[in-house]
Amino acid sequence: MSIFILSAPVHSGKTTGLLKWCNRQDNIAGVLMPDMDGSRKIVNLFTKEIFAIECTDPLHTKEPLTAIGRYYFYTAAFEKANHILLQALNQKPGWLVIDEAGKLELDGKGFYEPLVKAVDFYSNGKNPGNLLITVRDSLCDAVISFFKINNCRVIDRPEELE
């Protein structure tokens, strides 16, 4: 049906507001990446499972990491989240949420693969459901251009989806 982009400044409450909105929806799947207990976690919106994605002590881990700026993320957690997103896309939920498209995705990492597939699926306007992607405002135009997102609606608060 439609592609929506929730775009606002960094640390402006995009994910927090979106989590509240998601909790009021029935047919929803995808992932959110909130800051919980001082580090980023992944929330599977379908199962409500929560798992760590941010490594807060990169010098003392043996797990493979993906770095972006001053942040380090567990590569395996991204792989798990991507699997969740690709499974969700196959289930054709009313809402598929991807939090977020950013610098990693513009570099072909992070949620790149599910983003490409989801944008392709929802772009034709003939498939059921909606895609919602969060993007920091400073990268919004770059993400729209890079992923060739046409006919999307950019919003700055989840309440605009009501």
pLDDT in tens, 104-143: 999 999 999 999 999 999 998 778 899 999 999 999 999 9
Average pLDDT of adjacent 10-residue blocks, the chain of 162 residues: 90 89 95 95 97 96 94 97 97 96 96 97 88 97 97 93 84
Walk me through the domains of the chain, giving residue ranges and CATH numbers: 2-156 (3.40.50.300)
Are the C-beta atoms of 156 and 7 separated by less than 8 Å? yes
126 Cβ contact list (under 8 Å, min separation 6): none
CA–CA separation, 130 and 64 (whole Å):
33
pTM: 0.95
CA–CA separation, 57 and 78 (whole Å):
17
Provide the CB-side half-sphere exposure for 125 (13 A, CA): 5
- Give the length of the chain: 162
CA–CA separation, 136 and 14 (whole Å):
9
